[in-house]
Homo-oligomer: A and B are copies of this chain.
Amino acid sequence: MTYQSTISCADLQQRDADDPLHTKRAEFYLPDNTLYLDGNSLGAMPKIAAQRAAQVVNQQWGDSLIKSWNLHQWIDLPFTVGDKIGQLIGAETGQVVCCDSTSVNLFKVLCAALSLQPERNVVLSVNGNFPTDLYMVQGLAALSGNTRCQLKLVDQDELELAITPQIAVLMLTQVDFRSGRLFDMAELTRKAQQQGILVVWDLAHSAGALPVALDKCNVDFAVGCGYKYLNGGPGAPAFLYAAKRHHAQLQQPLSGWMGHKTPFSFSPEYEKANGIAQFLTGTPPVLSMSILDAALEVFNDVDMTQLREKSLALTDCFHQLVTQHDCLSTLQRITPTAKSQRGSQLAYRHPHAYAICQALIKYGVIADYRAPDILRLGFTPLYLRYVDLWTAVELLADVVRSKEYLQAEYQLKHKVT
């Protein structure tokens, strides 16, 4: 894709007219006067999700009460939703389950991976990984007195050198939550497995944002989030992938009754379920999982390759528009430029990033800020139009040019508490 030296608003209108995904926007509820560039924090609401919420509350809970466990297949939700997510992340059926939070699921897969190879105990990750991922390893390490598990962190450019046979588990987030940098899943998984390392991927910023090919990359375990690009609603349940080849051997300690082979026999001895069900712990969060289930229907007719193309085009256009404004030269892009190295977001450093973000929000452009100085913008191809980029960058330029953000900073410093 090449551009003329300058993109015009008309060019963007033409792109919308040509966009094979342009009808998807109508499937979302988007508030008036809002330009939403934060779908990587909380996805916008699919209309079908709101309909399902009303249905599951009023008809399923209200009318059918306890009978809904069978009548409305509540008991199967972790697997039906898991398999739907599986289709978006390249997993054959029976390997993905929807449950708990990303953090809790990470604990489960870390323990599972370590149980498969008890003679190794080092979990390797990179500095800058999302903190909860590191904290969960630290929690497991502390629980075991650092015997069963130790965390080793290296800088990203040292990663490949650190992949040695001393490592038990390589734990990486595919798309970096700050910079949007995309790791090469196939290559890193292959290199790690050559050293006998098991690989855990966190897909928080990639599931639903780009094509993921877990089975094809021979990934061992993965976890991810339901409320970002999957649009499952605030605090939607998370998911967990475990490759079928490991199911028979692994153990995980959050062995609740829903992971039992026969939960309703109420046997006093835990006996793990055969398949992916062994990763379930407590009773599934039926209401929120039903809403995520509905939200996933939006993806039914989406070609993930087209989605990826639009995502890259949106970010390319946005950045090109930024470069067309001299006043925005103070924004330092930290997202890699190569398409193979970035997800569906852009991140810019600016000393006044926080105040700029606040000023943008005031004008209806919802972006977010990550400490200490990053303005982060998420691009969701399902509901974002190309013309939206024009508006967003014009407002960004206005804010920066007028130094209005200084006023926001002033207010922040002197706010009445």
Contacts and interface: CB of A to CB of B under 8 A. Distances in A.
A62 B132 CA distance: 27
A306 interface: no
Contacts of A65: 31, 34, 36, 38, 42, 44, 366
Interface residues of A, number: 89
B254 A136 contact: yes
Interface in A198-237: 225, 227, 233-237
A234 B74 contact: yes
Contacts of A257: 103, 130-132, 135
A270 interface: yes
Nearest to A47: B62
Contacts of A324: none
A330 interface: no
30 contacts: A29-B62, A31-B63, A31-B65, A38-B66, A41-B66, A42-B65, A50-B58, A53-B53, A66-B368, A67-B361, A74-B234, A101-B281, A101-B283, A107-B254, A130-B266, A131-B257, A132-B256, A136-B255, A139-B252, A139-B270, A143-B148, A143-B251, A144-B144, A233-B286, A235-B286, A236-B287, A237-B285, A264-B371, A266-B370, A288-B288
A111 interface: yes
A61 interface: yes
A132 to B, nearest CB: 4
Contacts of A285: 101, 235-237, 285, 288
B131 A268 contact: yes
A291 interface: yes
A265 interface: yes
Closest 7 CB pairs of A and B: A101-B282, A103-B256, A234-B286, A139-B255, A103-B282, A132-B257, A139-B253
B131 A266 contact: yes
Contacts of A258: 103, 132
Interface in A394-408: none
A13 interface: no
A336 to B, nearest CB: 20
A275 interface: no
A337 interface: no
A29 B65 CA distance: 11
B62 A31 contact: yes
A68 interface: yes
Interface in A277-305: 281-289, 291
Interface string A26-66: 00010100101010011011000110011001101111111
Contacts of A264: 371
Given A266-B370, A283-B101, A136 B288 contact: no
Contacts of A128: 268
Contacts of A331: none
A84 interface: no
A188 interface: no
A189 interface: no
A102 interface: yes
Contacts of A142: 251, 253, 255
A138 interface: yes
Contacts of A66: 38, 41-42, 366, 368
A301 to B, nearest CB: 23
A349 interface: no
Nearest to A281: B103
A384 to B, nearest CB: 14
Best-buried of A50, A252, A255 by chain B (most CB within 10 Å): A255
Contact of A134 (B58, B234, B268): B268
Given A31-B62, A143-B111, A270 B138 contact: yes
A146 interface: no
A310 interface: no
